[in-house]
Chain A
Amino acid sequence: MIPVLILAATLFAGCSPELTEPRYNDGDADFSKFIAIGGGLAAGYGDNALHKVNQQYSFPAIMGERFLKTSGTTYLQPLMNDGDGLGLLNNARHVYKLTNSDCGAPFIKALPISPTGDLTNTAWIGAAIQYQNLSVPGSRISDLDKQTFGDPNPLIGNKFYARFASNPGQSTVLNDAIIQNPTFYALLIGLEDIYAYAAGGGVQSKDSITSSSTFEAELITITGALNSVNAKGIIGTIPYPNTIPYFISIPWNGLELDATTAANYTQLYQSLNPAISFHEGFNAFVVSDTSAPAGRRQMIEGEMVLLRTSIDSIKCHGLGSLIGIPGKNYLSIQEVNEINNAIDGYNNIIRSTAMINNLAVAELDNLFNRLLSEYTFSGAVYSSSYIFNSAFSTDGFYPSPRGNALIANEFINTINQYYSARIPLADVNSYPTPFIP
């Protein structure tokens, strides 16, 4: 009898209920030819480089993969070669490494995986291929309709566009988009126009912020060109620096001192005018500031230490206490205000241009804001912290593949609402995350 039961049972084993997936649809849009235009974030730049793994999970690639559920076709991107990728400074991608400290326990630090990036990636791959993700790391809004942007000479053009431009030195990103007759596009542009300045330390950087009048004129050109081929689309807004780990993971008042050290430092800085006093616990960092009477002062709330500042130097060599943090490693309150004002301006232009052209707006600044407090997705927590529970890559500025999935979901959610479409969201936890050493 028991064998009979087991036999009967095995007949049922392996038989599982099947649940029916909902019917997905494009709604009022058409995703059969989906292109993306943007800068590094949309290109899938991450870990301080453009490398294949992150590119495969750029937010446009994730959206393109989701559109396969309806009218989409395989999403074609100008992928880099397998390997360590190539950064804006010809560096290799960065990974977290357990690094020895000069004075304490080993700590996690993002370091290049190899001494140099893979320069073979600059070889031209643009012949007769229409790439759907036309986003280029380092591109400012005015680069999109500039022929020289694709010049193979790196002193003139951008190596990331030159490699896949349909006609390097002649074609433009915008034209390479238009000739594909896109039915739908995602545009996320303007980060480089502001963040080259911000990440470089503000006025100490060699970059400046693109004026909002230029931004507006260019945005009208771009949306107008895409309108002319009847493409529908979505534009993303620009997130603020106070929501990005690169600017907030070292807090302005992160100088932790014990009572003795605090007393010693207070004595040291007594002669400074105005004098600086320290106390046990967390203190504001000391920064170099040529406009301060003594050339040095303490940071104030709202100012930002950039992630490239060496934490080990802070801990072991008196950086930010005995030695002021140099100007290129922090943003003063004036610089932060300047950056925030510029983002306000861009985002207003983005929203009004989108309204005039009947385009959806993905409020990325909102998403980044929500990540300031923890956001749980299927049991995993994501936030704007650095390294742990982070939605960001090892560079602390560009998202990790999981962060890109969160961004893709923000775009898709907006598209579903604005265009009455039904496109499934991405399973954030199924994408890679930077390894903890």
Chain B
Amino acid sequence: MTIIPALFTVYKIRQLFNNILMSLGLMLIIPSMAISGGFENKTLAQKSVSMAGVFTGIANDASAAWFNPSAMSFFEAPKFMAGINYSSPATSYLSPYSGNHNMKSVNFIPFHLYGAFMLNDRTFVGIAVNKPFRYESNWESDWPGRYISTYSKFSVTSIKPSIGYRLNDNFSIGAGISLNFCKQEDTRMIPVTSDDGDIISTFEGNGLAFGFDLTASYKPNDETTLGLSLKSGSEYKMDDGEITFQRIPTAVQEIYPEKSDAKSSMKTPWSISVGMAKNISRKLMIAAEIKYALWSGTDSTAFEVKENQDLSYGIGKEYENSLYLGAGSEYTVSDNIRVRAGVGYETGAIKDQFLDPRIPDADKYIFAFGGTFKFSDFMSIDISYMLENYTEREATNSQYNFTGNYKTFTNTFGISLNYEFE
């Protein structure tokens, strides 16, 4: 590569960075602007978790295969990681009529597998398997919102092969294509009530969608890295779903089938992340990240009941784009031990009049810490803890005329095992 195009590229990238940073900065000073959230899973690898989600600019372990494949090409040897997280969200709903109602416990135990393989000294290929999107809510069957939702779940399992290519000592690019499997469940009560109780309606569906990402890393010097990641959205069509109705009164058996083919669709958003990491001393690294997620492109969900279209129902949704800001640092205690901490803030993606108890989203503060213990030349473990503290939110959903205050916090613990050739 000649020097001219390389410089040109660097110039262009800088310009792009400037533009993005400027637009993100502009968004920050517009107070009504809400930032991201929605149902993205932040517990995808422990270094990221322990720095409150900051990793795009760091991307120095195998999880770069997910966060920023371009950074793999700066590795000197292959890296692998396997890990698991445990999240227990706790949500309370304050009814204007009947006080506090706590969501039943939902435990989320996502795993992740990452590998970065060296093809040559400029090129790495990566593989990432994880669960990048997910929501789950589980309410008592007699709670005030039972005609909206008693149980709902949407989770995406992603398999993403990727490639990172180093253009020169300072600059690399990467790309990945993800194959995403989703699973959706949606259970609610219908106010057609026999002496057995309300009708129970349960939708279950699976879908498949592709996605991709484009990433870039820039190392102006040995102490500084910048990362950029653009992730595509995906659209999941669950055409082969099924809906079941239970406790159907005899008088309406002609209307409600016990079981019917059904379909639904879901979208996950496009997003762009910009991160930076800097070693400010031999022992201390600081990092920051901004992420902008285009939730506004993900619209309403319709559950279509094929045997009786009259029973089809929809979840009206209007998301707004969300902004995440995070900062973290890593301190090298000794050759074997590193500790990390981070803070973050993310805006909720769901507007008040569309907030429903399936996803009690809100602006949230993130506090996290963790560390790495290296117990051989090749192996180390990362552990992490993260608290996502959602701000209390009062909202009236206009579709359901459902009012209340929501408050959520999520505790997440995690452990990952790294195997790195040095």
Q: A379: which of B145, B249, B251, B415 is its contact (CB, 8 Å)?
A: B145
Q: A9-B411, A19-B100, A425-B96 are in contact. List 13 more A-B contacts (CB 8 A).
A: A1-B415, A12-B88, A19-B93, A20-B94, A21-B94, A376-B399, A376-B400, A377-B401, A378-B145, A378-B148, A380-B191, A427-B144, A436-B251
Residue of A nearest to B105 (CB): A13
Which chain A residues in 1-41 approach chain B with CB under 8 Å?
A: 1-2, 5-6, 8-9, 12-21
- Give the contact-size bracket for chain A: 35 or more
| Interface window among B66-74, B128-136, B192-200, B339-347 | B192-200
Chain B neighbourhood of A433, CB < 8 A:
191, 193
The reply on A426 being an interface residue by CB < 8 A is yes
The answer, yes or no, to whether A122 is at the interface (CB within 8 Å) is no
Q: Which residues in B have their C-beta under 8 angstroms from that of A427?
A: 95, 97-98, 144
CA distance A43 to B139 in the complex (A): 35
- Give the chain B neighbours of A14 by CB distance below 8 A: 105
Q: Which residue of B lies closest to A375 (CB)?
A: B401
Residue of B nearest to A405 (CB): B97
- For B400, list chain A residues within 8 Å (CB): 376, 378-379
Mark A412-437 against chain B: 1 for CB-CB distance below 8 A, else 0.
00000000000011110110010111
A378 and B147 contact, CB distance less than 8 A: yes
- Chain B residues with Cβ below 8 Å from A8 are 385, 413
Given contacts A9-B411, A13-B88, A378-B400, whether A430 and B144 have CB atoms under 8 Å apart is yes
Contacts A19-B407, A380-B191 given: A2-B415 contact, CB under 8 Å? yes
**CB pair B147 A437 closer than 8 Å:** no
Chain B CB within 8 A of A284 CB:
no
Chain A residues with Cβ below 8 Å from B254 are 105
B94 adjacent to A435 (CB under 8 Å)? no
Check: B230 CB closer than 8 A to any chain A CB. no
Q: A426 — which chain B residues lie within 8 A by C-beta?
A: 97
Residue from B392, B401, B411 within 8 A of A12 (CB atoms)? B411
Closest to A428 in B: B97
Q: Are B147 and A17 within 8 A (Cβ)?
A: no
B92 touches A436 (CB 8 A): no
**With a CB–CB cut-off of 8 A, which chain A residues contact B250?**
98, 437
Encode contact with A along B112-134: 1 for CB under 8 Å, 0 otherwise.
00000000000000000000000
- Report A-chain residues with C-beta under 8 Å of the C-beta of B192: 388, 436
Q: Is B177 part of the binding interface, using a Cβ–Cβ cutoff of 8 Å?
A: no
Residue of B nearest to A6 (CB): B86
- A-side interface mostly: loop
Candidates A18, A376, A424; contact of B92 at CB < 8 Å: A18
On A, residues with C-beta under 8 Å from B are 1-2, 5-6, 8-9, 12-21, 96, 98, 105-108, 375-381, 388-389, 424-427, 429-430, 433, 435-437
Specify the chain A residue showing the minimal Cβ separation from B417.
A1
Q: Which residues does chain A contribute within 8 Å of B102, judged by CB atoms? A: 16
Cβ–Cβ contact B90 & A17, under 8 A: yes
The 9 closest A-B pairs by CB, nearest first: A379-B147, A427-B97, A19-B94, A379-B148, A436-B249, A17-B407, A379-B400, A16-B102, A380-B191
State which size class the interface on B falls in: 35 or more
Encoded as 1 (CB less than 8 Å from any A CB) or 0, chain B from 378 to 422 comes to: 000101010000001000000111100101110101110000000
A213 to chain B, nearest CB (A): 42
Chain B contact residues, CB within 8 Å of chain A: 84, 86, 88, 90-100, 102-103, 105, 142, 144-148, 188, 191-195, 249-252, 254, 381, 383, 385, 392, 399-402, 405, 407-409, 411, 413-415
Residues of A within 8 A of B103 (CB): 16
Contact between B146 and A429, CB atoms less than 8 A apart: yes
* Among B84, B98, B188, contact of A430 (Cβ-Cβ < 8 Å): B98
Please indicate the chain B residues that have their CB under 8 angstroms from the CB of A17 in the complex.
90-92, 407-409
Q: A16 to B413, Cβ gap below 8 A?
A: no
Complex Cα–Cα for A106 and B253 (A): 12
Q: Which residues of chain A are within 8 angstroms of B105 by Cβ–Cβ distance? A: 13-14
**Contacting residues, chain B, for A9 (C-beta < 8 A):** 86, 88, 411, 413
Please give, as numbers and ranges, the residues of chain B lying within 8 Å of A380 by CB-CB distance: 147, 191
**Contact status B194-A16, CB under 8 Å:** no
B185 to chain A, nearest CB (A): 18
Check A5–B193 contact: CB distance below 8 A.
no
Once the chains are docked, how many angstroms separate the CA of A95 from the CA of B383?
62
Contacts of B84 in A (CB 8 A): 2
User: Could you tell me if B401 and A376 are in contact, using CB atoms closer than 8 angstroms?
Assistant: yes
Query: Of B90, B381, B407, which is within 8 A of A15 by CB?
Result: B90
CA distance A424 to B195 in the complex (A): 29
Q: Which residue, B86, B142, B399, has most C-beta atoms of chain A within 10 A?
A: B86
A101 to chain B, nearest CB (A): 12
User: Using Cβ atoms and an 8 Å threshold, which residues of chain A touch B94?
Assistant: 19-21
**In the bound complex, how far is the Cα of B411 from the Cα of A379, in angstroms?**
30
In Å, the complex CA distance between A379 and B357 comes to 11
**In the bound complex, CA of A435 to CA of B148 (Å):** 20
- A36 CA / B335 CA spacing, docked (Å): 79
Contact of B392 among A19, A96, A377 (CB under 8 A): A19
How far, in angstroms, from A2 to B92 measured CA to CA in the complex? Answer: 28
